[in-house]
Amino acid sequence: MANKLDGDVAIVTGGNSGIGEATAHLFAKEGAKVAILARREKEGKEVESAIKASGGEATFFQCDVAERGQVDEVVENVVSTYGKISVLFNNAGGGDKGNFPDETDEGWDRVIAVNLNGTFYVCRAAWSHLIESGNGRIVNMS
């Protein structure tokens, strides 16, 4: 019996821990080739290795989604590696927990840069590839 995501290529932002890591593993288990996008290389490579060890296919791409140029470059690298993108799971997020009401303007700007702008940047960079796949899907976590 075929897996639900056989033939799909999925980008998972923030795929190096938590919900993103669990999603990357699930997508791989269901047959997708998984592009793990995250800032922290050590954790990202560990997730890549764990997926490969369980028989899945994954590649870690270091990327800060708040940096538009990095996003554009990495999305093109994903396409060069796997030939397409058919699933985008935007999960990267951040912010200091419990800092309100003492959050600095700079801290808040970083939250917006990652959680809002980063989602926009990755969607925009992947959009044409998702359309070309014929069945592109986007899931945005918030």
pLDDT digits (tens, 9 = 90+) for 11-61: 999 999 999 999 999 999 999 999 999 999 999 999 999 999 999 999 999
> Kind of pairing, strands 9-13 and 57-62?
unpaired
Residue 1 pLDDT exceeds 60: no
In this predicted model, what pLDDT tens digit does every residue of 100-110 receive, in sequence order?
888 899 999 99
Average pLDDT of the residues in 67-86: 99
Residue 98: predicted pLDDT = 72
Residue 117 pLDDT exceeds 70: yes
Cα separation, 84 vs 90, in Å, equals 17
State the CB neighbour count (10 A cutoff) for residue 101: 4
CATH 3.40.50.720 fits 9-140, yes or no: yes
Using DSSP's 3-state secondary structure scheme, residue 40 falls into coil
CA angle (44, 46, 50) in 5-degree steps: 120
Top pLDDT among 38 and 98 is at: 38
State the CB neighbour count (10 A cutoff) for residue 71: 24
* Percentage of the chain modeled with pLDDT above 70: 99
